[in-house]
Structure 1
Amino acid sequence: MPTRRQPPARGAPQRTADQLHSAAIHLLRRLRGEDAAAGPSPPKLSALSVVVFAGPVTLGDLAAAEQVRPPTITRLVRELARDGLLRLVPDPDDRRIRRVVATARGRRRLLDGRRRRVAVLAASVAALSPAEQRLLSRAAPLIEALSRPPLSGAPRPS
């Protein structure tokens, strides 16, 4: 079995960040199994999620949100539209622009997958002691805040 290299210790923030990084990756892998039941691939589910939660977006905005090139997002959207999960509609203010919107089926598919993932996490949380549950409940908003992009002007790691 391969051994995991430990990064050089640079204080408590570095150790905490390393633990969070590792935990996030392992948690994502664990929950990906639930996504397999939803049907679309992880990249398709990610794009669908952006559209469901952000509302109608342009292909360019969706490509930027997903950090992929425009041809990649065009292909994903075409496949999701073929599956009846997304559709392209003209922008009401500028008919030259098309926006990507989720269909009712796409929204249902995404929310069903979310329910399955949350159920798996809830079972794991329920297995913790009451004190651990309280601690995790208090930490959850902090972890959520870390998942958001930093405010403009905030210091970036070097």
Structure 2
Amino acid sequence: MRLSRRLRQERTETELSGSQFSTLGWISTEGPLTIGRLAELERVTAPSMNRTVNCLVDAGYATRTASPDDGRKVIVSATEAGETIVLETRRRRDAWLAKRFAALTPAERETLAEATTILRRLTDQ
């Protein structure tokens, strides 16, 4: 939790909440997604994700368009401003982590790599 909190401090200066930033990150990484898919990825309900997307659209970080295949579905895409926030935040976090990893021994880095695999398996269940 402390590491997560510390990494959040490396975000760009925006008014985005953690869930809003996470959603924007999914859109940036995966490309345009439906509200339903975003809800699955974030493990929230579709109405909850709709509120999150509304905030991103209102802030100018995402856009909504009707699906060409199904007019009932909405496709959410990141705007240039949204992409910029995600990329800058990732750059800052990577720089912060790289500096700390450089101070670790090879054995400590190997232990962290193993722990990462285990933690990823736990969160994907």
Give me the TM-score of the superposition, normalised by structure 2: 0.83
- Structure 2 distance, partners of 1:119, 1:38, is 19
Q: What value does the CA root-mean-square deviation take over the aligned residues?
A: 2.2
Structure 1 gap ranges (5+): 1-24, 151-158
Corresponding position: 1:66 with 2:42: yes
1:15 corresponds in structure 2 to none
Q: Show the counterpart of 1:79.
A: 55
1:45 pairs, out of 12, 21, 25, with: 21
**Map of 2:32 onto structure 1:** 56
Q: How many residues align?
A: 123
Secondary structure of the residue aligned to 2:9 is helix
SS at match of 2:75: strand
Distance in 2, Cα, partners of 1:141 & 1:84? 39
- Return 5+ residue gaps in structure 2 as ranges: none
Relative contact order (C-alpha < 8 Å, sep 6+): which is higher?
Answer: 2
Partner residue in 1 for 2:103: 127
The residue that corresponds to 1:140 in the other structure is: 113
Q: Aligned partners of 1:111 and 1:137: how far apart in 2?
A: 27
Partner of 2:3: 27
Q: Does the aligned pair in 2 maintain the 1:37–1:113 contact within 8 Å?
A: no
Q: Any conservation in 1 of the 2:67–2:73 contact (CA below 8 Å)?
A: yes
Q: Shift of the alpha carbon at 1:120?
A: 0.8
Deviation above 6 Å: which 4+ runs of structure 1? none
Per-residue CA distance 1:93-127 (angstroms, 9 max, x = gap): 22331111111111110110011111111111122
**Offset of 1:135 from its aligned partner?**
4.9
Given that 1:38 and 1:113 are in contact with CA atoms closer than 8 Å, whether structure 2 keeps it comes out as: no
